[in-house]
């Protein structure tokens, strides 16, 4: 009896002494030391009684001081080899593996969420952030014309003379190049079976200017430009692969649109060059490069058609570049425009390239960040739920002396570990996700080819996962550290686990608030997309097949021969079985391909005398007869072009936008437009067939007869309307054209609906992603709510059963339970409301036809959220309430 | 073989407490108090303190000379299940032998040098 008390005292004494040792030693060896000493104590007690025991105590004190302090100075083992963290990690891992369902649920959620984040991050990073793959890309600028008061064109092409002027200006402008981007036909078999490629025609210094070298062969020599020299061509890596990836192609000749070009080089695989466009999206990446066959300095200064690319001297500040370019512009203005106010200005390469997609990508980035937040709260709630199940364990270990820090560390590690695993999963999902994204993404998405999940992106995603897990674990960790036996005993009166419920409720409120924001943003974007889809583009796209039939000058030099060739193409297409109408235009709707020029109608009633108002910039579209009928455009007044054409009269059909501009009350029929030195007589008015945006009118349009003019004449796009599915016509059309001349080909074969889909692909992708994020957030919030309500109902099942037994009716008890959930939802929605407002401001720029505070959308979102959330409350409530109350009470 | 020997030699000379542990474990698996009891039973003139002993055990475990034993494999472990038992690794056994040989050589040298009046056999 006595002995046992002494031994207990000894143990207490020894535990105190053990404190002298560092924590690692104590954790690893502490118990063994105490047990060994207790053996010694018990032996001493038996042999020499209390005095002997005292001697052991004193000796233990001395021993602990000596070895404990010694151990602190020079640890016996490298405890830190895996360290406490390592050991905790192992324990955390083991604990997770013991709960495979929990782990699978957490890792699954994290993987999906972080995978979505990975895709968005990769896209945002590669498109908006990563530098372009040129030498010192920050010193590169495109240069544009701003016509100022002359006419309304703020971003026009340069004339060749402007480029020449920039080239000789010197100063901070180190190099300048002019660029044209055109579709050419290329054939390696003497002209037969050509393929269409995009060729950038440029000044010979382009590659030096960009700081890149061909992977095979050479680039252009400085004097390899101008007329009367053998034409040379440099292939892109992609085109070289398409032609069979034969290194010996360098030095051979290929047939390019009627001429023989010598291949002198092949660019490296990672080199992509996109010429920015003055209007509309940038052109497709170049397939090949060649140099101008004329001298830019001798071109027409009034004909703006070149993109100007300059490289500034190393590290020149942008303002200085703008000043230098502006100075060149003043010279040009004085010389070519008599000082009427034309100016030129530079735009940085990357901001210019990504300007169009920037707002959408930023919205997407925010949505992804929000999803991560919701995910984090969800993980926190799950960890908390888990921690609450281990409440006893925590409280007991706390009571036994485990310090709070250790418990915190264990919980935080658990979160971090889950985060890292989820991050790795997310990065893997991201790799495939990005591939899918790139496949879905619009072809004109800038820098599309560079979007991949690389190591840097993967590291960020895994880091984000780890951070998310750690942060999520902080709340449960703090809670776990506070768990004490007394609080446990107090709460066990209500059958275990109480304190965490408040925290979980707070988390559900946060989740609901975040989901409301994301859902409303998602709802608005989806609705905006729906508006786009419903927009009337001004023509009937169904059943239309379109194809371009380029007629190169070298192949058919005379315009009249080209026209008769087009008549044969027209006839051949019209004779295909099932075809009802055929026509052609140089610019199809939704392709932004028209020519622009000022529209002047002398004496029109709408003229105000204001120069800007009376000379609006309009789109001129050259069409063959029957175009308006074939496209299914709506004729408002007058007539369309008919088959009879008179050389003496040049006809025009205008759109309603133009008619309203110049003839607000009367009819424009019979009025004439000054165009290229002759007069166009207006014979009809149509609804605008939109060229740029599906949902709103663009510039005023003037349709002219393709036969009357030479612009766009050699690249007419034929439209074929038929009763057959348009895709089934392609093979027939191809062979019909080939039968006319094997050197002809059809290119850009697309149905009109495909053209529209492509024009909408960016919005579609955005809507799908944001909608997906929003639904994900909703699902996560519902899961959180489900967890809280089912926890609360389980805890209160005695009380609820008692109420039922005492006569409360089922519906009333159900309302009690659901009311609890509804309160949380209400709070969440209230807290989220300002966020909805802020998000509305953020996405305003990407919305079309929907106000950011669109009541219908917001009410629908609120209703949808409430229904889902209520279901998440109802299901667990029913599960518990359906148990016979008598059984519940017995348990 | 040569490398092995060099590796073993690197441990030599071992500290007194380490040799006591090696000696004790050479006879079989022991827990901490068992090693102390062995030392007392041998009449070693310096029985290690518990703290000293466990620091040495930690150090030797890390060096791979000894290893903790799974509970199930200990034959007479009736008393206290939380106790850690130790046993020699093959490296530990070699080191113990090498140290013993080293001590024997020293003792022989001391004898020859007349430092030891009594003859030990």
- Residue from A7, A77, A82 to probe the interface with B (highest B Cβ count within 10 Å): A77
CB A166 within 8 Å of CB A325: yes
CA distance A25 to chain B (A): 8
User: Residue A126 has what DSSP assignment?
Assistant: I
Of A361, A425, A318, give the one whose Cα is nearest residue A126. A361
Q: What is the DSSP string of A540-586?
A: --TTEEEEE----TTTS-SHHHHHHHHHHHHHHHHTSTTEEEEEEES
Lowest mean pLDDT among A83-97, A226-240, A266-280, A769-783: A83-97
* Mean pLDDT calculated for residue range A360-382: 85
Instruction: Please report the beta strands in chain B, taking only residues with DSSP state E, as ranges in sequence order.
Output: 30-31, 66-69, 85-88
The arithmetic mean of pLDDT across residues A692-719, rounded, is: 88
Q: Is 80 exceeded by the pLDDT of residue A390? A: no
pLDDT band at A659 (very low <50, low <70, confident <90, very high): very high
Q: Mind listing the pLDDT tens digit for each residue in A570-581? A: 999 999 999 999
Residue A347 has pLDDT above 50, yes or no: yes
Give the CATH number for residue B99. Answer: 1.10.10.10
Task: Give the C-alpha separation, A380 to A383, whole Å.
Answer: 5
Q: Distance (Å, rounded) from C-alpha A276 to C-alpha A308? A: 9
The answer to whether the CB atoms of B51 and A33 lie below 8 A apart is yes
Short-list A553, A573, A538, A537, CA closest to A717: A573
Q: What is the pLDDT of residue A7?
A: 87
Band the pLDDT of A483: cuts 50, 70, 90.
low
Q: Which domain holds residue B90?
A: 2-120
What's the whole-number mean pLDDT along residues A160-177? 91
pLDDT on residue A497: 46
Cβ A57 vs Cβ B105: under 8 Å: no
Question: What is residue A206's predicted lDDT score, i.e. its pLDDT?
Answer: 93
pLDDT at B73 over 60: no
- Over 50: is that where the pLDDT of A83 sits? no
Q: Residues with Cβ < 8 Å from A364, sequence gap 6 or more?
A: A120, A123, A124, A766, A769, A770
Q: Do B56 and A29 touch (CB under 8 A)?
A: no
Instruction: Identify all chain B residues contacting A77, using CB atoms and an 8 Å cutoff.
Output: 58-59, 61-62
pLDDT at A613 over 60: yes
- CA A110 – CA A741 distance, rounded (Å): 59
Q: Tell me, what's the pLDDT at A81? A: 42
Q: State yes or no: pLDDT of A687 exceeds 90.
A: yes
pLDDT tens sequence across A1-25: 578 888 888 888 888 888 888 887 8
Chain A residues with beta carbon closer than 8 angstroms to that of B52? 63, 66-67
Q: Where does the pLDDT of residue A401 fall: very low under 50, low under 70, confident under 90, or very high at 90 and above? A: low
- In this prediction, residue A289 has a pLDDT band, given cuts at 50, 70 and 90, of very high
ipTM of the complex model: 0.84
| Candidate from A285-294, A326-335, A488-497 with smallest mean pLDDT | A488-497
A778 pLDDT higher than 80: yes
- Give the pLDDT confidence of A792-802 residue by residue, as tens digits: 787 777 888 88
pLDDT of residue A891: 64
- pLDDT at residue A205, rounded to an integer: 93
State the DSSP H helix or E strand holding residue A519, giving kind and residue range, or none if neither. Answer: helix A499-534
Residue A492 has pLDDT above 80, yes or no: no
Tens-place pLDDT, residues A616-646 = 888 999 999 999 999 999 999 999 998 888 8
Q: From B49, which residue of chain A is nearest by alpha-carbon distance? A: A63
Q: Name beta bridge partners: A146.
A: A343
Amino acid B119: pLDDT: 54
Closest A-chain CA to B53 = A33
Q: What is the pLDDT of residue A500?
A: 65
Over 80: is that where the pLDDT of A729 sits?
Answer: yes
Cβ within 8 Å, pair A77-B62: yes
Bigger pLDDT: A440 vs A683? A683
Query: Is pLDDT of A496 > 70?
Result: no
Q: Which of A293-302, A370-379, A541-550, A703-712 is modeled with the greatest confidence?
A: A541-550
For range A261-265, the mean pLDDT: 93
The structural domain count of chain B equals 1
Does any CB of chain A come closer than 8 Å to the CB of residue B59? yes
Question: Which of B18, B55, B68 to probe by mutation at the A interface, max A CB count within 10 Å?
Answer: B55
What's the confidence (pLDDT) of residue A236?
Answer: 92
Interface membership of B55 toward A (CB under 8 Å): yes
State residue A85's pLDDT score.
60
- Predicted pLDDT at A641: 92
pLDDT score recorded for residue A282: 65
pLDDT at B71 over 60: no
What is the Cα–Cα distance from A826 to A512, expressed in whole angstroms?
A: 9
Q: What is the mean pLDDT of chain A?
A: 85
Calculate the alpha carbon distances from A219 to A380, A839, A885 in Å: 58, 50, 86
Q: How far apart are the first and last CA of chain A?
A: 41
Question: Helix axis angle, B50-63 relative to B32-42, nearest 10°?
Answer: 110
Q: What is the 3-state secondary structure (H, E, C) of A433-478?
A: HHHHHHHHCCCCCCCHHHCCCCHHHHHHHHHHHHHHHHHHHHHHHH
User: Using a CB-CB distance cutoff of 8 angstroms, which residues of chain B are in contact with residue A76?
Assistant: 55-56, 58-59, 62
Give the mutation candidate from A15, A39, A56 for the B interface (greatest B CB count, under 10 A): A39
pLDDT on residue A494: 46
Q: What is the dihedral of CA A656, A658, A664, A670, to 10 degrees?
A: -90
Q: Collect all residues of chain A within an 8 Å Cβ-Cβ radius of residue B53.
A: 36
Answer whether residue A375 shows pLDDT above 90.
no
At residue A104, does pLDDT exceed 90?
no
Express as a percent the part of chain A with pLDDT over 70.
Answer: 95
- pLDDT of A744 > 80? The answer is yes
Sign of the torsion formed by the C-alpha atoms of A725, A730, A732 and A733: positive
pLDDT at A573: 94
In angstroms, the first-to-last Cα distance of chain B is 31
The pLDDT tens digits for A23-81 are 878 887 888 888 888 888 888 888 888 888 898 899 899 988 888 888 877 777 765 44
CA separation for the pair B29, B51 (Å, rounded)? 20
Stretch A142-167: mean pLDDT, rounded? 88
* Confidence at residue A78, expressed as pLDDT on a 0 to 100 scale: 64
User: Distances from the Cα of A543 to the Cαs of A161, A631, A751, in angstroms?
Assistant: 45, 10, 8
pLDDT at A576: 93
Of B32, B36, B49, the CB nearest to A67: B49
Instruction: For residue B48, give the chain A residue with the closest CA.
Output: A63
DSSP characters over A167-192: HHH-TTEEEEEEEEEEEEEEESBTTB
- Write down the pTM of the prediction: 0.67
The upper half-sphere exposure of residue B92, i.e. CA atoms within 13 Å in the direction of its Cβ, equals 27
The residue that leads in pLDDT, B72 or A26, is A26
Instruction: Kindly indicate the confidence band of residue B77, based on its pLDDT and cuts at 50, 70 and 90.
Output: very low
Helix (H) / strand (E) containing A42? helix A23-63
- How does residue B82 score in pLDDT terms, banded at 50, 70 and 90? low
Shortest Cα–Cα distance, A67 to chain B (Å): 6
């Amino acid at each position: 009896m006595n002995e046992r008390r002494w031994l207990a005292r000894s143990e207490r004494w020894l535990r105190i002494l053990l404190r002298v040792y560092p924590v690692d030693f104590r954790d690893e060896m502490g118990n063994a030391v105490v047990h060994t000493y207790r053996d010694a104590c018990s032996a001493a007690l038996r042999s020499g009684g209390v005095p002997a025991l005292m001697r052991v105590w004193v000796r233990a004190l001395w021993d602990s001081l000596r070895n404990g302090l010694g151990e602190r100075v020079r640890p016996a083992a490298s405890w830190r080899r895996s360290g406490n963290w390592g050991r905790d990690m192992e324990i955390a891992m083991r604990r997770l593996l013991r709960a495979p369902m929990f782990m699978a649920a957490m890792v699954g959620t994290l993987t999906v969420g972080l995978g979505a984040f990975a895709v968005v991050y990769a896209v945002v990073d590669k498109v908006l952030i990563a530098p372009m793959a040129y030498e010192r890309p920050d010193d590169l600028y495109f240069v544009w014309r701003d016509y100022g008061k002359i006419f309304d064109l703020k971003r026009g092409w340069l004339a060749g003379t402007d480029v020449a002027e920039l080239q000789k200006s010197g100063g901070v402008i180190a190099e300048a190049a002019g660029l044209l981007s055109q579709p050419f036909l290329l054939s390696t078999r003497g002209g037969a079976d050509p393929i269409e490629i995009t060729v950038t025609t440029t000044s010979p210094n382009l590659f030096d200017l960009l700081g890149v070298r061909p992977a095979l062969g050479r680039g252009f020599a400085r004097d390899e430009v101008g007329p009367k020299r053998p034409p040379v061509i440099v292939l892109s890596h992609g085109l070289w692969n398409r032609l069979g990836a034969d290194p010996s192609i360098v030095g051979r000749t290929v047939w390019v649109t009627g001429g023989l070009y010598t291949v002198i080089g092949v660019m490296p695989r990672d080199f992509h060059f996109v010429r920015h466009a003055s209007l509309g999206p940038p052109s497709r990446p170049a397939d090949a490069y060649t140099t101008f066959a004329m001298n830019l300095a001798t071109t027409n200064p009034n004909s703006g058609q070149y993109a100007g690319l300059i490289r500034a001297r190393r590290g020149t500040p942008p303002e200085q570049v703008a000043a230098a370019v502006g100075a060149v512009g003043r010279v040009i203005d004085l010389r070519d425009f008599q000082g009427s106010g034309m100016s030129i200005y530079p735009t940085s390469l990357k901001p210019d390239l990504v300007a169009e997609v920037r707002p959408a990508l930023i919205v997407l980035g925010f949505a992804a960040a929000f999803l991560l937040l919701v995910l984090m709260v969800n993980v926190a709630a799950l960890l908390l739920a888990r921690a609450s199940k281990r409440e006893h364990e925590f409280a007991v270990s706390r009571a036994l002396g485990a310090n709070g820090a250790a418990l915190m560390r264990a919980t935080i590690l658990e979160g971090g570990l889950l985060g890292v695993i989820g991050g790795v999963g997310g990065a893997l999902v991201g790799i495939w996700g990005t591939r899918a994204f790139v496949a879905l993404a619009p072809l004109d998405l800038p820098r599309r080819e560079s979007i991949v999940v690389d190591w840097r992106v993967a590291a960020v995603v895994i880091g984000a996962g780890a951070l998310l897990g750690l942060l999520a674990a902080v709340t449960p960790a703090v809670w776990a550290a506070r768990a004490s036996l007394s609080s446990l005993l107090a709460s066990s009166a209500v059958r275990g686990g109480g304190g965490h419920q408040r925290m979980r409720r707070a988390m559900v409120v946060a989740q609901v608030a975040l989901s409301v924001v994301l859902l409303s943003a998602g709802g608005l974007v989806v609705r905006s997309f729906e508006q786009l889809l419903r927009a009337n583009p001004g023509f009937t796209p169904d059943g239309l097949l379109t194809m371009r039939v380029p007629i190169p000058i070298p192949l058919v030099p005379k315009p009249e021969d080209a026209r008769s060739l087009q008549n044969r193409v027209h006839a051949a297409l019209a004779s295909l079985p099932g075809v009802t109408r055929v026509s052609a235009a140089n610019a199809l709707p939704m392709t932004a391909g028209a020519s622009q020029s000022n529209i002047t109608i002398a004496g029109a009633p709408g003229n105000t005398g204001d120069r800007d108002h009376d000379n609006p910039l309009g789109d001129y579209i050259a069409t063959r007869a029957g175009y308006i009928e074939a496209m299914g455009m709506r004729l408002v007044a007058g007539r369309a072009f008919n088959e009879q054409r008179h050389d003496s009269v040049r006809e025009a059909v205008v759109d309603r936008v133009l008619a309203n501009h110049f003839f607000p009350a009367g009819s424009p029929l019979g009025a004439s437009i000054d165009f290229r030195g002759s007069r166009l007589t207006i014979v009809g008015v149509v609804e605008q067939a939109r060229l740029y945006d599906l949902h709103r009118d663009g510039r005023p349009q003037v349709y002219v007869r393709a036969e009357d003019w030479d612009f766009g004449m050699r690249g007419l796009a034929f439209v074929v309307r038929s009763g057959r599915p348009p895709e089934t016509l392609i093979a027939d059309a191809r062979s019909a054209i080939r039968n006319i001349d094997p050197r002809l080909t059809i290119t850009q074969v697309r149905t009109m609906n495909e053209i529209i889909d492509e024009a909408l692909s960016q919005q579609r992708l955005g809507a799908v992603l944001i909608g997906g994020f929003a639904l994900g957030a909703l699902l996560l919030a519902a899961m959180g709510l489900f967890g809280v309500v089912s926890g609360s109902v389980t805890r209160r099942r005695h009380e609820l059963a008692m109420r039922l037994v005492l006569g409360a009716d089922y519906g009333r008890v159900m309302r009690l339970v659901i009311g609890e959930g509804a309160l949380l939802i209400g709070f969440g929605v209230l807290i989220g409301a300002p966020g909805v407002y802020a998000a509305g401001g953020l996405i305003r720029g990407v919305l079309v036809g929907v106000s950011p505070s669109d009541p219908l959308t917001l009410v629908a979102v609120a209703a949808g959220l409430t229904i889902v959330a209520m279901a998440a409350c109802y299901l667990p409530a029913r599960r518990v309430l359906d148990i016979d109350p008598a059984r519940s009470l017995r348990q | 073989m040569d490398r092995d020997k060099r590796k073993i030699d690197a441990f030599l000379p071992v500290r007194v407490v380490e040799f006591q542990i090696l000696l004790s474990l050479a006879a079989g698996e022991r827990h901490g108090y068992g090693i102390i009891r062995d030392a007392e039973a041998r009449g070693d003139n310096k029985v290690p303190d518990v703290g000293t002993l466990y620091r040495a055990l930690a150090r030797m475990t890390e060096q791979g000379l000894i290893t903790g034993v799974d509970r199930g494999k200990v034959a007479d472990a009736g008393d206290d299940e939380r106790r850690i038992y130790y046993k020699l690794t093959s490296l530990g056994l070699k080191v113990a032998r090498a140290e013993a040989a080293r001590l024997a050589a020293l003792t022989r040298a001391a004898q020859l040098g007349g430092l030891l009046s009594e003859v030990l056999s």
